[in-house]
Amino acid sequence: MSKAPALELIDIHKTFTDVEVLKGISLKAYDGDVISILGSSGSGKSTFLRCINLLENPTKGEIIFNGESLKLASSGRDLAAADMKQLTKMRQQIGFVFQSFNLWPHMTVLQNVMEGPAHVLKRPKQEVMDYAEHLLNKVGIADKKHMYPNQLSGGQQQRVAIARTLAMDPQVILFDEPTSALDPELVGEVLGVMRKLAEEGRTMLIVTHEMSFAKEVSSEVVFLHKGVVEEKGTPDKVFNSPDSERCRAFLSSTY
């Protein structure tokens, strides 16, 4: 069976001033895949994730989404989008959840969730509102919909951010350490929502430090070290019998 991957990254490189953070990373995500990306600080995992939708411009590499290669042109030392329309279109279909939530503080929770579908996708208001309320219900904050982000706890804000991402009906969702900015007692509620999404069969790429979560929900685990893929495979393989010495050391120190 030869099915095209939903998202394919080929040989992604990234150099900051004179540090090569990513040294050629390739990855394929098929529909329904849940891929966890692990690694110590500075391994380049967040940078890699941010290169996928060009929040960070890669120095070299290719990004293929739904069989369509993102057009890149060199801009200084890096590659930038050659076709802004294509990039915005692609971004509309790839969700991104930030470590620091990044909700828009001047909008209520409901407005945050409605913003994308209502003003970017220009779907009818009523339909968008019903869907937004449904999503807020799903992440368990329906009762807070008229509050402003700063009135919520970190865990609640992150759940709103996830609802905001889901509202766009993305084909792939990227999570950039979604629980790293949370107090320990709030981590569970966010992971709970993400677990639900994984069970629904959503395609997700997750950069995380939550080892037991990664082991439990992932279909594939990638371990990055110093900008290269050091170990890759099923959770069982990576967690229980990794080939790489470094991966073993990392797991034994954190898990």
Partner 1 sequence: MDFSVVVEYFPRLLEGAWVSVQLVALSVVLGALVALPIALARISQNWWIKGFPYAYIFFFRGTPLLVQIFLVYYGASQFDVVRESILWPILREPYWCAIIAFTLNTSAYTAEIFRGAIQAIPEGEVEACKVVGMTKAQMYRRVLLPRAFGIVLPAYGNEIILMLKGSALASTITILDLTGMARTIIARTYTPIEIFLAAGGIYLVISMVIIAIFRQVEKRQNRYLGTVSIKVPDKG
- Rule CB under 8 A: which residues touch partner 1? 41-42, 45-46, 53, 55, 84, 88-96, 98-108, 115-116, 119-120, 148-151, 154, 164, 168, 177, 180-181, 207, 209
User: Residue 50 Cβ, how far from partner 1 at the closest point, in Å?
Assistant: 9
**Shorter beta-carbon distance to partner 1: residue 98 or 239:** 98
* Cβ-contact 132, 110 below 8 angstroms: yes
CA–CA distances in Å: residue 23 to residues 12, 29, 44, 48, 132:
7, 19, 9, 10, 40
Nearer to partner 1, 3 or 106 (CB): 106
Question: From residue 53, how far is each of 9, 15, 75, 92, 154 by CA, in Å?
Answer: 11, 17, 16, 10, 25
Q: Rounded to the nearest whole angstrom, what is the least distance from the CB of residue 64 to partner 1 in the complex?
A: 18
Residue 93 vs 219, nearer CB to partner 1? 93
Residue nearer to partner 1 on the CB measure, 120 or 249? 120
DSSP secondary structure code for residue 146 in this structure: T
User: Minimum distance from CB of 159 to partner 1 (Å)?
Assistant: 15
Q: How far is the CB of 148 from partner 1 (least distance, A)?
A: 4
Query: Cβ closer to partner 1: 124 or 234?
Result: 124
Question: C-alpha angle 221/227/230, rounded to 5°?
Answer: 45
Least Å distance between CB 12 and partner 1?
17
For partner 1, the closer of residues 1 and 88 by Cβ is: 88
3-state secondary structure 49-99: HHHHCCCCCCCEEEEEECCEECCEEEECCEEEECCHHHHHHHHHHEEEECC
β-pair type (7-16, 203-207): unpaired
Smallest distance from the beta carbon of 241 to partner 1, in angstroms? 26
